[in-house]
Amino acid sequence: MESEGKTDRQLNKDYSVVLCKNFSWVFPAVSVSTGERMKKRTPSVIVIGAGMAGISAARTLQDASFQVVVLESRDRIGGRVHTDYSFGFPVDLGASWLHGVCKENPLAAIIGRLGLPLYRTSGDNSVLYDHDLESYALFDKAGNQVPQELVTKVGENFEHILEEICKVRDEQVEDMSIAQAFSIVFKRSPELRLEGLAHNVLQWYLCRMEGWFAADAETISAKCWDQEELLPGGHGLMVRGYRPVINTLSKGLDIRLNHRVTKIARRYKGVKVTTEKGDTFVADAAVIALPLGVLKSGMVEFEPKLPEWKQEAINDLGVGIENKIILNFDNVFWPNVEFLGVVAETSYGCSYFLNLHKATSHPVLVYMPAGQLARDIEKMSDESAANFAFSQLQKILPDASSPIHYLVSRWGSDINSLGSYSYDIVNKPHDLYERLRVPLDNLFFAGEATSSSFPGSVHGAYSTGLLAAEDCRMRVLERYGELEHEIEEEAPASVPLLISRM
């Protein structure tokens, strides 16, 4: 391995010297012969990105006796897991649900061990609904509540349309968007097309589907939309936020905040990583746990360039946008349901609010725009965005009192994420996620977009971190000889997941 023009031998000789002047980190040398040194020295890894995937990879490798340093561009860890405490209680601006509340969920053991309560919003394992139907209250733009029987009936109609979409796509070789598939189904079965208020409710269902993928129906692949694997157990909200999970996993790791990586150079036996400020880090291998949006942007240079098949996977996977506008009120003045929604003529005009009061007892509503609407809202100032969300609420409840505080996320324009999570776009194969995960020599890829089973999820990101760490451990061992310690397996937690529902 070389660094700053030095060979391994030179590096070991003047180890104390190379720690100065921009050369921030290197594996420690030991005073034994070269042959023995290659066997006994501690393998080193640079993990890029301190989101769930990076932290899980770093944790695993450090526990396996690797020397690990994590480089993170932000001034905080967690990435798209971001619990804010400025209201005096935890609120998640990024992920907030555990999808698949069951012991098979790789995060269950940690959540259970920490005794973190979950509030189950749906017992159903649906890809589309993380809420049970009875927990919705929908309103039209004049503030009239939509009768619950109509909500249920249109929900059944929507399911029927989705079944027909599956038939249509199986007949066609070419892929199409969900929006196109809807049109074909309506032509074939005009009775599924609805009118008036029922049509608006149907648009609201479509709006929820778009929220799941953080993208508009015009871009979502009809062939791949349901390829995600579902874990059993339904969907549970992290009542105290996701942050404790990240904190626990990151304990004792060497994480360098404010270290934005700009270049990753792959060498015969090692990796050299350069940051925006010009610091250089050298190690045996690197785990790249950057968001797909960042890889797409080209802000990180690879030397040599990524092979075409890898670059294609980056280009051809979609990154959607979903945001959260969190409104904190003095008191609760809204109906005691988990979800409030406004129905409209188009899915773009529909909106929905998560009622956090149900799960946390705090007077908070979370407005969640996705796709084009989220993109448009990101162009507004925080104040205008909060006013926009409040104006949607006033359509339902004209006498609503103004929020006392608000928080606005901007995942689509943040250069540390450039999007909320990945999804399958039209005409691209689902195996792109796997392609993105395939290692290149001593570069290992992790992150939600490298998980074909659970893309766009925290547990998906966590699993890819574990996979990348294991690949890395095996590959580095092959090249550099035996490790000093074996990985210790952790006993599975016997603590049950705590669920409540009010």
Ligand X SMILES: Cc1cc2nc3c(=O)[nH]c(=O)nc-3n(C[C@H](O)[C@H](O)[C@H](O)COP(=O)(O)OP(=O)(O)OC[C@H]3O[C@@H](n4cnc5c(N)ncnc54)[C@H](O)[C@@H]3O)c2cc1C
Provide, rounded to whole angstroms, the least separation between the CB of residue 241 and ligand X.
11
Q: State which of residues 43, 51, 233, 341 lies at the interface with ligand X (CB under 6 A).
A: 51
- Pick one of 300, 364, 389, 396: the residue that binds ligand X (CB under 6 A): 300
| Alpha-carbon span 178 to 211, nearest angstrom | 13
List 158, 352, 411, 444, residue binding ligand X (CB under 6 A)? 411
Q: Number of residues in contact with ligand X, rule: CB under 6 A?
A: 40
Please choose, from the candidates 231, 275, 3, 272, the residue with its C-alpha nearest in 3D space to the C-alpha of residue 102. 231
Using rule CB under 6 A, residue 358 touches ligand X:
no
54 sits near ligand X (criterion: CB under 6 A): yes
Q: What spatial distance separates the first Cα and last Cα of the chain, rounded to whole Å? A: 59
- DSSP letter at 5 equals T
Q: How far is CA 151 from the centre of its chain?
A: 30
Instruction: Note the maximum CA span of the chain.
Output: 81
User: Is residue 260 a contact point for ligand X (CB under 6 A)?
Assistant: yes
Q: Give the shortest CB-93-to-ligand X separation in angstroms.
A: 7
Q: Is 6 in the site for ligand X (CB under 6 A)?
A: no
Decide if 210 contacts 368 (C-beta within 8 A): no
In the complex with ligand X, which residue's Cβ is closer, 111 or 261? 261
Where does this chain touch ligand X (CB under 6 A) — which range of 66-74, 162-170, 435-443, 493-501? 66-74
Residue span 370-409 as binding mask against ligand X, x where in contact by CB under 6 A, dash where not: ---------------------------------------x
Is 32 assigned to a binding site? no
Among residues 193, 204, 196, the alpha carbon closest in space to that of 139 is found at 204
Q: Which amino acid is at 274?
A: T
Q: Phi-psi bin for 433: left (phi > 0), alpha (psi -120 to 50), beta?
A: alpha
Nearer to ligand X, 53 or 286 (CB): 53
Q: Does 290 bind ligand X (CB under 6 A)?
A: yes
Phi, psi angles (nearest 5°) of residue 268? -55, -50
> Is residue 283 close enough to count as binding ligand X by CB under 6 A?
no
Among the listed ranges 71-79, 134-142, 149-157, 483-491, the one in contact with ligand X (CB under 6 A) is 71-79
Nearest CA among 140, 168, 143, 141 for reference residue 154: 140
Beta-carbon-side half-sphere exposure of residue 324 (alpha carbons within 13 Å): 23
Type of residue numbered 413 = S
Cα(437)–Cα(459) distance, integer angstroms: 16
Among 81, 396, 426, 436, binds ligand X (CB under 6 A): 81
Report how far residue 405's alpha carbon sits from residue 329's, in angstroms, rounded to the nearest whole number.
7
Near ligand X in 212-241, by CB under 6 A:
none
- Out of 24, 157, 392, 416, the residue judged to bind ligand X by CB under 6 A: 416
Residue for token pair 């921009």 = 22
Is 136 one of the annotated binding-site residues?
no
Interacting positions 153-182 with ligand X (CB under 6 A): none
C-alpha atoms less than 13 angstroms from C-alpha of 142 in its C-beta half-sphere: 3
Compute the least distance from the CB of residue 13 to ligand X, in Å.
31
Which stretch, 18-26, 74-82, 119-127, 139-147, contacts ligand X (CB under 6 A)?
Answer: 74-82
Kindly state the tokens that stand for 341: 């929604």
Q: Which of residues 451-480 bind ligand X (CB under 6 A)?
A: 456-458, 461
Type and span of the H or E element at 353: strand 351-355
Instruction: Extract the annotated binding site.
Output: 261, 367
Could you list the residues known to form a binding site for FAD, using ranges: 261
Q: Could you list the residues known to form a binding site for substrate, using ranges.
A: 367
Q: Give the residues lining the site for ligand X (CB under 6 A).
A: 48-54, 71-74, 79-81, 94-97, 99, 260-261, 289-291, 294, 300, 322, 324, 409, 411, 416-417, 420-421, 447-448, 456-458, 461
